[in-house]
Amino acid sequence: MKLYNFNSGPSILPQSVLEEASGAILNFNDTGLSILEIGHRTTWFQDVLQEAISSVKQLMQLNDTYEILFLHGGATTQFMQVPMNLLGDGETAAYCDNGIWGNKAAKEAALFGNVQVVTNSSDKQHTYIQKQFTVPADAKYLHITTNNTVEGTQWHQYPETGIPLVADMSSDIFSRQTDFTKFSLMYAGAQKNMGAAGVNLVVVKKEVLGKIQRKIPTIMNYQKHIEAGSLMNTPPVFAVYVSMLTLRWILANGGLTEMGKRSVEKAELLYNTLDSLPVFKATVAKEDRSQMNAVFFLTNPSLEAPFLDLCKKEGMIGVKGYRTIGGVRVSMYNALPLESVRIFCDLMKDFAFRNG
């Protein structure tokens, strides 16, 4: 049976990336060694890392005022590493709480300084993006989560504040054309749109570093990682390699302009189908709907289990909603073909016909 991978992360990867990566496990670039065996300081891996760094800069259209780091851990590590490097004792940072991950990020930051939560959409179960808010004049940075994987919301226009903007882009990075120069620091776990779990991309503008007096553990210090070229300790070699292959795939398939076009096409198909079928209901405000993660429910809750059972039977993988939210979640990352969305929409129509 053919499977359709709608997992929210780790998620679908391009088939060509899987094929090349699987070959490299046995014989990397005809070296006779596995990618799992090569030394991280060899020219073999240096070439991989440098291509990954160059691809990020090309896709984001960034100059040398930014540094690109591939670090251990996922985005959750950055919840503490960002304030550890940017927020001095007694200083204030502004955070947007638009869902689970923004809330967690704010709580971690509060361990290092004062946190002012300037938006909180919990009054409507995080089903919208609050766009009007005030940032404290003394805030050192504003932190946002550009796409809320769990709740299904997304920032479609970024806030203008005049202070450094920091973003967790884990679930929508490289999915659309963006002016990345609006941000002073961006980070993303790789396992959504840019590779395998285990590596974290950090893109940081050098001018925001080195401004606090706190002593930072070496392994948590961005400046030390920059000096070491992401090689302070043994990096997750295979995960970096898969990210490099995925970035290469994005560039070869039209870059962010094409990824954005595909994202819109898939999201419009899914949401238009959803809105046309009364058996389903979407609670997220239309203007804030995520192009990456569509979250919705059955109008009759008793139909949720039968619908999810049908999805499982038909090979629709990963469509059960997040454990604290429930419902249905369809993740539509870059590597997901439009055809998979079409087939899922046909399943929705058939279910609605039989249960409407």
What tens digit of pLDDT does each residue of 272-318 get? 999 999 999 999 999 999 999 999 999 999 999 999 999 999 999 99
* CATH number of the domain within which 202 lies: 3.40.640.10
- Identify whether the C-beta of residue 109 lies closer than 8 Å to the C-beta of residue 79: yes
Residues 214 and 260 in one domain: no
Q: What total of structural domains would you count in the chain?
A: 2
Looking at 237, 252, 267, the residue that finishes a domain is 252
> Which pLDDT belongs to residue 303?
97
Residues 227 and 271 in one domain: no
> Which pLDDT belongs to residue 19?
98
Stretch 311-333: mean pLDDT, rounded? Answer: 96
Set 101, 140, 155, 266: catalytic member: 101
Residues 276 and 233 in one domain: no
Examine the residue annotation and report whether 192 is marked as an active-site residue of this protein: yes
pTM above 0.95, yes or no: yes
* CATH number of the domain within which 324 lies: 3.90.1150.10
Residues 156 and 241 in one domain: yes
Residues 278 and 149 in one domain: no
> Which pLDDT belongs to residue 82?
98
3-state secondary structure (DSSP) of residue 317: strand
> Which pLDDT belongs to residue 1?
81
- Identify whether the C-beta of residue 118 lies closer than 8 Å to the C-beta of residue 165: no
> Which pLDDT belongs to residue 230?
93
Question: Taking 90 as the threshold, does the pLDDT of residue 136 lie above it?
Answer: yes
Stretch 93-97: mean pLDDT, rounded? Answer: 98
Stretch 210-220: mean pLDDT, rounded? Answer: 95
Looking at 217, 252, 287, the residue that finishes a domain is 252
Residues 248 and 326 in one domain: no
Q: What are phi and psi of 204, to 5 degrees?
A: -135, 140
Residues 338 and 349 in one domain: yes
Report the percent of the chain where pLDDT is more than 90.
98
Q: Quick one: pLDDT band at residue 160, thresholds 50, 70, 90?
A: very high
Q: What is the mean pLDDT of the chain?
A: 97
Stretch 65-76: mean pLDDT, rounded? Answer: 94
Q: What are phi and psi of 182, to 5 degrees?
A: -70, -20
Looking at 252, 272, 305, the residue that finishes a domain is 252
Q: What is the pLDDT of residues 189-203, one digit of tens each?
A: 999 999 999 999 999
Instruction: Evaluate whether residue 7 is within a structural domain.
Output: no
> Which pLDDT belongs to residue 73?
85
Instruction: Evaluate whether residue 178 is within a structural domain.
Output: yes
Angle among Cα 231, 226, 164 to the nearest 5 degrees reads: 140
Set 192, 249, 266, 288: catalytic member: 192
Residues 53 and 97 in one domain: yes
Residues 245 and 265 in one domain: no
Residues 197 and 299 in one domain: no
Examine the residue annotation and report whether 101 is marked as an active-site residue of this protein: yes
| Amino acid identity for residue 37 in this structure | E
Q: Quick one: pLDDT band at residue 74, thresholds 50, 70, 90?
A: confident
Stretch 254-260: mean pLDDT, rounded? Answer: 98
Print the domain residue range for 108: 15-252
Q: Quick one: pLDDT band at residue 349, thresholds 50, 70, 90?
A: very high
Instruction: Evaluate whether residue 301 is within a structural domain.
Output: yes
Question: Taking 80 as the threshold, does the pLDDT of residue 356 lie above it?
Answer: no
What radius of gyration, in Å, describes the C-alpha atoms of the chain? 21
Q: Quick one: pLDDT band at residue 267, thresholds 50, 70, 90?
A: very high
Place of tokens 């359709």: 4
Q: Determine if residue 352 is left, alpha or beta; phi over 0 gives left, psi from -120 to 50 gives alpha, anything else beta.
A: alpha
| Angle between helix 338-355 and 255-275 (nearest 10) | 0
Examine the residue annotation and report whether 44 is marked as an active-site residue of this protein: no
Instruction: Evaluate whether residue 315 is within a structural domain.
Output: yes
Nearest alpha carbon to residue 145 among 110, 109, 183, 98: 98
Residues 301 and 235 in one domain: no
Instruction: Evaluate whether residue 240 is within a structural domain.
Output: yes
What own/partner pairs with CB < 8 Å and gap ≥ 24 does 19-27 have? Answer: 20/245, 21/238, 21/241, 21/242, 21/245, 24/241, 25/238
Q: What is the pLDDT of residues 171-184, one digit of tens each?
A: 999 999 999 999 99
Sign of CA dihedral 309, 313, 319, 320: positive
Residues 268 and 248 in one domain: no
Set 97, 140, 155, 168: catalytic member: 168
Instruction: Evaluate whether residue 6 is within a structural domain.
Output: no
Q: Quick one: pLDDT band at residue 151, thresholds 50, 70, 90?
A: very high
> Which pLDDT belongs to residue 204?
98
Report the percent of the chain where pLDDT is more than 70.
100
Instruction: Evaluate whether residue 2 is within a structural domain.
Output: no
Instruction: Evaluate whether residue 270 is within a structural domain.
Output: yes
